[in-house]
Structure 1
Amino acid sequence: MEKIENSRKVKLKVEDLTIIFGKHKEKALELLNKGVSKKEILEKTGCTVGINKASFEIYEGEFFVIMGLSGSGKSTLLRCLNRLNEPTSGKVYINNDNITEKNNKELLQVRRTEMSMVFQKFGLLPHHTVLSNAAFGLEIRGEDKVSREEKAQKTLDIVGLSGFEHQFPSQLSGGMQQRVGLARALANDPEVLLMDEAFSALDPLIKSEMQDQMLELQDTLQKTIVFITHDLDEAIKIGDRIAIMKDGVIEQIGTAEDILTNPASDYVKAFVEKVDRKTIITAKSLMFDKPFVVRFRKDGPEGALRKMRASALENLPVVDLHHKFMGFVTLNDIVQIAKKKATTVESIINSNVPSVYPDATVEEMLPLISESKSSIAVVDQNNKFLGLVTQLSLIIEATKFNEEEIIELKEIANNQ
């Protein structure tokens, strides 16, 4: 994973970003650098530490989610990225360009051309039509009416508001108003889209629909998106990576699966303990990536038996000379053909067995182990064998599920 990420272009980079609110920022910063706690700094200086030495990178085309409870600093951090909040110290780069050093005119240009923001409360102009609202950023940028309305219309079409161009915000539902705000942000064709709890004011059903549409749009547009939420389920659904914050500190950054399987602190562990793990944990996390395999045309029955004894498994995957998955062989079948002095396992390979890609979830794999007595092979797009998910590993993972799910898996295991 690290190699893949390092090969991607860094779009946003944050270095030791700190923001302090209050009159005595220099004194507060000095105390913070000495390791004094946020609470003590407030008591001694009257200043509040909003962000405490945040450092991270966001990759081009990444859907990066920053989440935490109210007061964690997530929105404050987002607003530092375009300097709506001025950092007390630290640096913010976009495309390796340090925007914390820019003057007001240069910063305005960045906001108009490289970054757009979608706010929680939509921020629509009530006396402007939907089309006029969507074109507003382009108007501020100085584009002529024909050009800006043409671009605005395209983004309205993208977000599913074709036909509502001449309506006013008050005539639209909350979800539709949020789509107007999104269209306005997209009309500027920004490289980076900042979204501050953009869906939190919506009803649950509309919120889910907006999340789905946002993911569909991202598949097409491939923008770099920084999304703020306090909803863990939302973060897991839409985020490529998630940053979890507490008291202005970033506790952990990683994929949902990284965070669930390796929480960096007790806070993160408590934060994610009620998440439905079976929809997130994947074959990649559970598989043995160097299991014993039977090599077709190389391993005969005796070789297969030796590997079964060593692995303590009663069925083993078979691969060809190019390491492509062919199926499984079982202990009973091998014993039978060994008695017949067979020299190859070809006749007993069961190819009608499950295999999955590395991103298959536990939820997707559970029905497979209930239908088959074999483990589950993990393969790539070319059917190359990558690893093995055993029934035991799924049951061990099941101990982290709820009671009904544990009973279900035990019944499956007992029936094998």
Structure 2
Amino acid sequence: MDSAPEITFDGRADVDGAALFAPLALRLEAGQWTCLLGGSGVGKSTILRLIAGLETGVRFSGRIAASDGAPVARRVAYMAQDDLLLPWASVERNIGLGARLRGERQDRARLMDLLDRVRLREHLGKRPAELSGGQRQRVALARTLMEDKPVILLDEPFSALDARTRADMQDLAAELLSGRTVLLVTHDPAEAARLGHAINVMTPAGLTQVSPPDAPAPRHVDDPETLGAQGALMRLLRAEAA
């Protein structure tokens, strides 16, 4: 893996001549988690797709650049809101999809370790239709982690999980993505308070930065500073929606 760069996103997006989001500047610090919260429809997922170089259906005016000047999209692993699993492929083959598409040799030891850590080894031969929604999301998470890219884009990656599994998978992602430049889109203030080194709330008018707790991430769910940050984010989100 090459070194994780700082990413600068600076611009605006329009749909059929109407602004999706106003000009905004978002900086993803190298090797850190940046969390992006906001109401539905403000363009959070569009930002992820623009950074990943994917089709969005919007007209983007601006600049997306890495601090080292190298192209961004080719160094990205992207996890969408939908799991996007291949319905005819097993859990094992879905997780190892990236290497096969690139014609690379599969790191089976790493794949099996990930299967263990997302608690899916006993399901490795099953197809997506045989899994629960939470299990499917863990397969998609494992596939993203398998890519071992320096820039990771996560769109609601833990939303389908029960509370205990969500905390466990947050801890796993924080461990395995240490040193990567991560952008996490979430609707969950508690998640941002646990994981974010930088936290931004997005509205159609732009971004509001919120100071994260001082403790290292991932933070304890019952830490007073974490709970305080969660409350501050909830109040800000409710005020923006009012």
TM-score (norm 2): 0.76
When residues 141 and 87 of structure 1 are mapped into structure 2, their CA distance, relative to the original with a 3 A threshold, is farther
- The residue correspondences of 1:2-401 to structure 2 (distance < 5 A) are 10-15=5-10, 17-22=11-16, 47-84=17-54, 85=56, 88-97=60-69, 99=71, 110=74, 114-144=75-105, 147=106, 149-218=108-177, 221-247=178-204, 249-250=206-207, 252-257=208-213, 279-280=224-225
* Letter matched to residue 120 of structure 2: L
In the alignment, the residues of structure 2 paired with residue 140 and residue 188 of structure 1 have an alpha-carbon distance, to the nearest angstrom, of 12
Describe the shift of the 1:278–1:134 C-alpha distance in structure 2 as closer, same or farther (beyond 3 A). closer
Q: Read off the aligned partner of 1:91 and give its amino acid letter.
A: R
Contact 1:127 1:168 in 2 (8 A): yes
- When the two chains are superposed, the root-mean-square deviation of aligned CA atoms in Å is 2.9
- Post-superposition CA distance 1:121-171 (Å, at most 9, x none): 211112211110011111111224xx3545533433443433432222233
Match of 1:33 in 2: none
Cα distance in 1 for partners of 2:175, 2:120 equals 15
Cα deviation, 1:218-272, whole Å, max 9, x if unaligned, reads: 4xx432211101121221122111111011511x2243349xxxxxxxxxxxxxx
CA distance in 1 between partners of 2:129 and 2:7 (Å):
36
AA of the residue aligned to 1:143: E
Does the CA-based 8 Å contact 1:121-1:201 persist in structure 2? Answer: no
Letter in 1 for 2:225: I
Shift of the alpha carbon at 1:197? 1.2
- SS class of match (2:182): strand
Cα gap change, 1:278 to 1:182, in 2 (>3 Å): closer
Residue type of the partner of 2:212?
A: A
Deviation at 1:68, TM superposition (A): 0.5
Whole-Å separation in 1 of the counterparts to 2:109 and 2:82? 25
**In structure 1, C-alpha distance between the alignment counterparts of 2:186 and 2:201, rounded to whole Å:** 10
- Is the contact between residue 63 and residue 239 of structure 1 (CA under 8 Å) also seen in structure 2? yes
Secondary structure of 2:47 counterpart: helix
Contact 2:137–2:160 (CA under 8 A) maintained in structure 1: no
User: Which amino acid is the alignment partner of residue 18 of structure 1?
Assistant: R
Q: 1:361-393, CA deviations, whole angstroms, 9 ceiling, x for partnerless residues? A: 99xxxxxxxxxxxxxxxxxxxxxxxxxxxxxxx
Superposed displacement of residue 192, structure 1: 1.1
Secondary structure at the counterpart of residue 148 of structure 2? coil
Matched positions, count = 217
SS of equivalent residue, structure 2 residue 6: strand
Residue segments in structure 1 that go unaligned for 5+ positions in a row: 1-8, 23-46, 101-106, 259-275, 282-360, 363-416
Contact 1:11 1:59 in 2 (8 A): yes
Structure with the higher fraction of residues in helix conformation: 1
User: Stretches of 4+ moved more than 6 A in 1?
Assistant: none
SS in 2 for 1:93: strand
> Of the two, which has the highest radius of gyration?
1
State the distance in 2 between where 1:175 and 1:75 align.
20
Residue aligned with 1:253, SS: strand
Name the CA distance, whole Å, in 1 between partners of 2:160 and 2:117: 22
| AA of the residue aligned to 2:15 | F
* Alignment partner, residue 311 of structure 1: none
What one-letter code is carried by the residue in structure 1 that aligns with 2:45? S
Q: Which has the higher contact order (CA 8 A, sep 6+)?
A: 2
Unpaired segments of 5 or more residues in structure 2? Answer: 215-220, 229-242
Over residues 261-286 of structure 1, what are the superposed CA-to-partner deviations in whole Å (9 max), with x where a residue is unaligned? xxxxxxxxxxxxxxx998217xxxxx
Contact 1:72–1:248 under 8 Å retained in 2: no
